[in-house]
Amino acid sequence: MRRNIVAGNWKMNKRFEEANELVNDLMDCLEKIDDLKAEVILCPPFPYLELCTDMSQESYFAVGAQDVSEHESGAYTGEISASMLESLGLDYCIVGHSERRAYHHETNAVVANKVKQLLANKISPIVCCGEVLSEREADKQFDVVREQISESLFGLNAEEFGKIIIAYEPVWAIGTGKTATPEQAQEMHAFIRSIIKEQYGAEVADNTSILYGGSCNAKNAEELFANPDVDGGLIGGASLKAEDFAKIIISFK
Ligand code: PEP
């Protein structure tokens, strides 16, 4: 069944004591929500993963990493393997974020390798896709997203694909305060679902959660999440304040 999901991508923010405070505040906020309509996932920086998995035992959130190595193990100084994440009890990991694509040369082929490592370790990949501004201005957004998704994911079989969460994040909307309109989000999410249907059939497509990311906040989340193909959000800046993040979590009708 398709799930509503709100995932917080903390990116490279917070010192340890601040991270601790944020998780505690968020736990207080989650405690006060009577009818939680979404799965909540926190994606803190690597050093705080264990703090979060420990605290998740007493709360209503799951934990994900922000990246993983495409390699299994060995001489890759500084890298973190999917098996290490699994050993910490993580259920999710973001891959293909536009910041990793732009600053760390993460290609669709690399994303495909990372996805395979995660699936082999029973971790659900949250796979990001999305066009840059010049591609949208040239009306190429559908071609770009189709290529990202097919090259990074369509090598999977249907069972494997069933573990994937997609995050559509138009790059021009990330951290810019410029959100896609609800119509633009719905149009792209419906397109993504249609190409999943072409590849894997209606059941897999219907069951895939497709999140929106890009300056989603406490004010615009309700309008975005009200769309039939928008199943929640991947939230950057607004996940760094517990109250704002909690407001997004309760934005489902
Ligand atoms: C993100 O980095 O995934 C993101 C959506 O960031 P922001 O919400 O800050 O635009």
Query: Whose C-alpha lies nearest to ligand 1, atom 7?
Result: 236
Query: Whose C-alpha lies nearest to ligand 1, atom 1?
Result: 236
Q: In this structure, is the dihedral angle defined by the CA atoms of residues 151, 210, 117 and 245, taken in order, positive or negative?
A: positive
Which residues have CB under 6 Å of ligand 1? Answer: 9, 169, 174-175, 213-216, 234-238
Substitution site in 11, 92, 168, 178 for ligand 1 pocket (most atoms within 8 Å of beta carbon): 11
pLDDT band at 42 (very low <50, low <70, confident <90, very high): very high
Catalytic residue ranges: 97, 169
Number of domain units in the chain: 1
Closest ligand 1 atom to Cα of 239: 8
Q: Is the pLDDT of residue 46 over 90?
A: yes
pLDDT at position 171, please?
A: 96
Q: Is the pLDDT of residue 200 over 90?
A: yes
Q: Is the pLDDT of residue 253 over 90?
A: no
pLDDT at position 48, please?
A: 98
Closest ligand 1 atom to Cα of 11: 2
Task: State percent of the chain over pLDDT 70.
Answer: 100
Each residue's pLDDT tens digit, 81-121: 999 999 999 999 999 999 999 999 999 999 999 999 999 99
pLDDT at position 147, please?
A: 98
Closest ligand 1 atom to Cα of 176: 10
Substitution site in 5, 127, 216 for ligand 1 pocket (most atoms within 8 Å of beta carbon): 216
Q: Is the pLDDT of residue 222 over 90?
A: yes
CATH number at residue 102: 3.20.20.70
The average confidence (pLDDT) of the chain is 97
Task: State percent of the chain over pLDDT 90.
Answer: 98
CA of 180 to the centre of ligand 1 (A): 12
Q: Is the pLDDT of residue 199 over 90?
A: yes
Write the CA distances from 65 to 20, 80, 85, integer angstroms. 16, 10, 8
Report, as an integer, the average pLDDT of 188-213.
98
Q: In this structure, is the dihedral angle defined by the CA atoms of residues 201, 106, 145 and 46, taken in order, positive or negative?
A: positive
pLDDT band at 158 (very low <50, low <70, confident <90, very high): very high
Query: Whose C-alpha lies nearest to ligand 1, atom 4?
Result: 236
Closest ligand 1 atom to Cα of 235: 8
* 23: containing domain: 5-249
Phi, psi of 96 (to 5 degrees): 75, 20
